[in-house]
Amino acid sequence: MVKKALEALLKEDRVFPPAESFRRRANVSDPSVYDSAAKDRLKFWADLAGQLHWFKKWDRVLEWDLPYAKWFVGGTTNISFNCLDRHLAGPRRDKTAILWEGEPGDERRLTYVELHREVCRFANGLKLLGVQKGDRVTLYMPMVPELCVAMLSCARIGAVHSVVFGGFSAEALRDRINDSKSKIVVTADGGWRRGAVLPLKQFVDEALTGTPSVERVVVFKRSGSAVPMKKGRDLGWEELVGNQSDSCEAEPLDSEQMLYLLYTSGTTGKPKGIIHTTGGYMVGCYASTHWIFDLKEEDVYWCSADIGWVTGHSYVVYGPLLNGATVLMYEGAPNHPDNGRFWAIVEKYRVSVFYTAPTAIRSFMKWGDDFPGRHDLSSLRLLGSVGEPINPEAWIWYHQTIGGGRCPIVDTWWQTETGHILISPLPGITATKPGSATRPFPGIEADVVNDQGESADSGYLVIKSPWPGMLRGIYGDPERYREIYWSRFPNLYFTGDGCKRDKDGFFWLLGRVDDVLKVSGHRLSTMEIESALVDHPAVAEAAVIGKSHEIKENAVVAFVTLKGRAKATPELNQQLKEHVVKKIGSIARPDEILFTADLPKTRSGKIMRRLLRDIAEGRALGDTSTLADAGVVNSLKEKYEED
């Protein structure tokens, strides 16, 4: 008998079918799309590609030389043209493309024709600086419309953008500039976050002490802070674009022309430059946005992710603009000036489609129902979740408190590497289950396999065949690409995530396999234990790790934050342990529970379980440079040592 790769113990039986009123208007409502896509995957993707503009049609849909794919081979297109020019001949010309609100409350609106004009001016400015097709341009900016402008400008002339999240340190920025050998850096004098200005230009100046490839720095004036400008290297955004023409023809680019590099953390400490190219990525973003978010002409769509992450690339910029949507952008924090800022924005702009992360949802739960209760959220008609598995109770809270019980939830699974969503409900078709990403998107072949690479009910999530937006490698490191993604299972893309599949064929993501606990011969998902803890009415958030144990191999240690009025008592500690036993079984009973005011998280909101393991094991803390608040982990360490 083959041992299971991962045991799945948490049960969830609630089902939410699409409302008939939603299904009738949905962009996709016929379940046969799954069968037709499976019957001829290449025709399915080619038909979707045909809805976009191509300067020259492709010769072959797919060329597959494992582990490298080429999509729409021989075709030429331009994603900037498809995001902008394609809409200008019709009524979308004067439609609002970007609705922007700064953290201090300032506002801007750009129509499609105005956004096109700004992109052309900046693209001409880049050409004046000597930027050519294939050159890398690093963008280190706050969440302002000019970041979208810079991305679309690079794409327009065939330059490769590398967006670095504005919360990263000077050292992290330097590493990414040097790895990409960027020629130009685009930044700002600062950006607003929780009432203070992040000094982005200062961090750029520090980073550029060791970046020989950089020739020029363009500085957008956002905060009004006085910043030093190095003569011969630095120039202002307005200085660059002031006299530029607002006409710039989009360059016909090969479908496999590199579109962008996006760096993701690697286990070795060296960031991985994920390569995405033009044609396939464009088709994947366009189709997934249209089908999953069900966008209509009248929608106001808000993805709350920062553009520094892949979610921002695909579902703030490219996917929505390819669909001619009105995109809302917000610069600042969700809790400034109070914990109701997001809901005030939803009410003010009548947001209808809202896409955010489970980490944010659990924070909203922790802050209480009062804040969303103060605002009119009746404009919402569809909700989305992204970034990590969402536990069932957070799903239910999101559905009831934010969606009023009327909004379908699209719980999406994908990665920086996949480019676009690969597993998600289709809101006009799928009967959703809280906590499940449901089914692979039509045209995507996903599977769950055991240690031997055989299909199983529980184990590892893999992708069996190429998809349009897949990464084309790691920049400058082809062997690392093969080793990370293609060596674990022959001919299969290894996602690194644990997964179970239920009797209906629905996929339930169990988190990174690095976060699996080995307890008395059983392999348990930390996500399931965390979900069981959060199911208790007193718990807002939980993080579970394994601590070395001489008998069981791993002892289960849980770090728990409580909701507003709940008190950390020995009685509650015992209640939570019994609650886990009730939900999962005695094998998952936590050995230790530590109550904490907060958890260590990255600036993108992911819990740093590695640091929690360091604390539990009494080790020196590892790298804390990517933490949003390094003080959290230091206070946790002190508290754990006291207990």
Convert the pLDDT of each residue in 370-426 to its tens digit.
999 999 999 999 999 998 889 899 999 999 999 999 999 999 999 999 999 999 999
Amino acid identity of residue 258, one-letter, is M
Is 529 part of any domain? yes
Average pLDDT over residues 321-330: 98
In this structure, are residues 241 and 45 in contact, taking their beta carbons and an 8 Å threshold?
no
- The answer to whether position 507 is within a domain reads no
Asked, for residue 144, whether it belongs to a domain, the answer is: yes
Give residue 265's pLDDT band: very low, low, confident or very high (50, 70, 90): low
Residue 1 lies in a domain: no
Q: Are residues 493 and 575 in the same domain?
A: no
Structural domain tally of the chain? Answer: 2
What is the pLDDT, as a whole number, of residue 3?
45
Q: Would you say residue 642 has pLDDT above 80?
A: no
pLDDT number for residue 526 = 80
Spatial distance between the Cα atoms of 41 and 549, rounded to a whole number of angstroms: 48
Residues 275 and 411 in one domain: yes
What average pLDDT does the chain have?
Answer: 92
**Confidence at residue 167, expressed as pLDDT on a 0 to 100 scale:** 81
pLDDT in tens, 527-553: 778 888 998 999 998 989 888 887 777
74 vs 54, 164, 250, 270, 282, CA distance in Å? 11, 31, 18, 34, 15
Q: Is residue 219 part of a domain?
A: yes
In this structure, the answer to whether residues 460 and 341 fall within a common structural domain is: yes
Q: Give the pLDDT confidence of 414-469 residue by residue, as tens digits.
A: 999 999 999 999 999 999 999 999 999 999 999 999 999 999 999 999 999 999 99
157, two tokens: 């002339």
- What's the domain range around 315? 20-436+444-499
- Name the band, by pLDDT with cuts 50, 70 and 90, for residue 1: very low
Round to whole Å and give the CA distance between 129 and 452.
54
Beta bridge partners of 219: 187, 236
Rounded to the nearest 5°, which phi and psi values hold at 396? Answer: -65, -40
Q: Are 330 and 101 in contact (CB under 8 A)?
A: yes
Tell me what the mean pLDDT of segment 67-75 comes to.
Answer: 98
Give the relative orientation of helices 630-642 and 609-617 as an angle to the nearest 10 degrees: 30
Do 53 and 164 reside in the same domain of the chain? Answer: yes
At 141-163, the pLDDT tens digits run 999 999 999 999 999 999 999 99
Say what the pLDDT of residue 636 is: 79
Measured distance CA(533)–CA(285) in Å, rounded: 35
Indicate the range of 299-313, 381-395, 600-614 predicted with least confidence. Answer: 600-614
Q: What is the model's pLDDT at position 421?
A: 98
- Residues forming beta bridges with residue 149, ordered by sequence position: none
Q: Are residues 250 and 352 in the same domain?
A: yes
Give the total residue count for the chain. Answer: 643
Q: Is residue 43 very low, low, confident or very high in pLDDT (cuts 50, 70, 90)?
A: very high
Query: Does the residue 254 lie in any domain?
Result: yes
Judge whether residue 204 has pLDDT over 70.
yes
Q: Taking 80 as the threshold, does the pLDDT of residue 268 lie above it?
A: no
> Within a domain: residue 11?
no
Give the CATH number for residue 597.
Answer: 3.30.300.30
545 and 467 in a single domain? The answer is: no
More confident residue, 193 or 296: 296
Residue 279: pLDDT over 70 = yes
Where b means 16+ CB within 10 Å and e means fewer, 297-309 reads eebbbbbbbbbbb
Whether residue 544 is found in the same domain as residue 461:
no
Q: Give pLDDT, residue 4.
A: 58
How large is the angle between the packed helices 570-583 and 526-534, nearest 10 degrees?
Answer: 120
Phi-psi region of 291 (alpha: psi -120 to 50; beta: other; left: phi over 0): alpha
Tell me: pLDDT of 223 over 70: yes
Task: Answer yes or no: do 493 and 533 share one domain.
Answer: no
Q: Is residue 511 part of a domain?
A: no
Q: Is the pLDDT of residue 238 over 90?
A: yes
Q: Which residues contact 466 (CB under 8 A, 6 or more apart)?
A: 62, 64, 69, 71
Q: How far is 402 from 380, CA to CA, in rounded Å?
A: 8
Dihedrals φ, ψ of 525, to 5°?
A: -85, 130
Same domain, 193 and 82: yes
Query: Mind listing the pLDDT tens digit for each residue in 572-592?
Result: 999 999 998 887 777 788 999
Q: Which two tokens stand for residue 526?
A: 């930390």
Q: CA-to-CA distance for 639 and 263, rounded, in angstroms?
A: 34
Together in a domain, 258 and 341: yes
- For 330-380, what is each residue's pLDDT tens digit? 999 999 999 999 999 999 999 999 999 988 998 899 899 999 999 999 999
pLDDT, position 566: 86
Cα separation, 69 vs 221, in Å, equals: 41
**pLDDT above 50: residue 267:** no
Q: Is 269 a residue whose pLDDT tops 60? A: no
Which of 188-192, 205-209, 451-455, 532-536 shows the lowest mean pLDDT across its residues? 532-536
- CATH number of the domain residue 256 falls in: 3.40.50.12780
Q: Are residues 214 and 313 in the same domain?
A: yes
Question: Taking the model in full, what pTM does it have?
Answer: 0.86
Q: Are residues 158 and 296 in the same domain?
A: yes
Q: Quick one: what percent of the chain has pLDDT higher than 90?
A: 76
